[in-house]
Amino acid sequence: MSTILISEVGPRDGLQSIDPVMPLAAKCAWIDALVDAGIREIEVGSFVPAKLLPQLADTAQVVAHARTHPGLIVAVLVPNARGAENALAAGAHKLTLPLSASETHSLKNLRRTHAQVLEDAAAIAAMCRAAPYKVHFEGSVSTAFGCTLEGIVTEAKVVELAEKLMAAGADEVGLSDTTGYANPAQVRSVVRAVHAAIGAEHLTGLHLHNTRGLGLANVIAGLDVGITTFDASLGGLGGCPFAPGASGNIVTEDLVFMLEAMGHDTGIDLDKLLKVRDILAAALPSEPLYGFTPDAGLPLGFRQAA
């Protein structure tokens, strides 16, 4: 049994998928409570133009607040070099650049070809190396398990893009099941192929969705092939089973329950984590919160290792 890092992405992936704009004070209270429950990495926002995602317009201020927590890895999404510039100015510890394996998706969402995104990756890697503090730069292959526009995404394409991201200077590659298309056999196969190409130490994290209910099954597959970091969203914020295009992140509470029940060490206090939902429910009263474990409660006799 091993130590597993849960990267909470609700403040970025959750909030960008819903209409209400959460006030800065609520975001900070949410982050504080997550840290108090033992969360060690949070993707706190995205450096995109405010007119595109007003929900995340205060990301620089959120980064500044999150940085006051010693030891917390403050992660952000950056869509391009300008976003990375702003992220570094704000002091983010980790920058993630998404590169969609489906070029159709890349063109439609970012209006950029693979070659253009990879140019950005090289520029961002150089900026990170030149930064006055230590920065971690992840290239994230999105739609890595299938695309709602292109359908099947080949393993060869994912491997090729992972290699190119590393060649561009990324510290690490992540794989993202943006569309909720992945299945456990595919997760094992694609991760093994990427590990063989770039080294297992350069692919340690998966971003999985629960769109078809397979999120935690895919986590088990990831664990089997050595993955040690999983993204998740408290209450599955931003997901909606009736809108397949929506986020549908795996629910942090269910993920932590599963891992802790299996004997893995997440460093997270489940009782405290379950209470963080109250902050979310109060700040976003119109948003449904998901999760089976919060509804069912912890099993009788369940004890977390100290």
Hey, which residues are catalytic here? 240
Chosen residue from 156, 300, 305, 306 binding a copy of itself by CB under 8 A: 300
Please report how close the Cβ of residue 254 comes to a copy of itself at its closest, in angstroms: 4
CA geometry: angle 62, 63, 65, nearest 5 deg: 65
CB of 35 closer than 8 Å to CB of 70 = no
How many residues touch a copy of itself (CB under 8 A)?
44
CA distance 303 to 306: 9
Chosen residue from 75, 92, 198, 214 binding a copy of itself by CB under 8 A: 214
Please report how close the Cβ of residue 43 comes to a copy of itself at its closest, in angstroms: 22
Residue 75 or 221: which CB sits closer to a copy of itself? Answer: 221
Choose one: 13-21, 48-56, 190-198, 259-267; the region binding a copy of itself (CB under 8 A). Answer: 259-267
Assess 230 for contact with a copy of itself (CB under 8 A): no
Assess 4 for contact with a copy of itself (CB under 8 A): no
Assess 261 for contact with a copy of itself (CB under 8 A): yes
What does the binding site for a copy of itself look like in residue numbers (CB under 8 A)? 1, 146-152, 179-181, 183-186, 210-214, 216-217, 219-221, 241-242, 244, 251, 254, 257-258, 261-263, 291-293, 295-297, 299-301
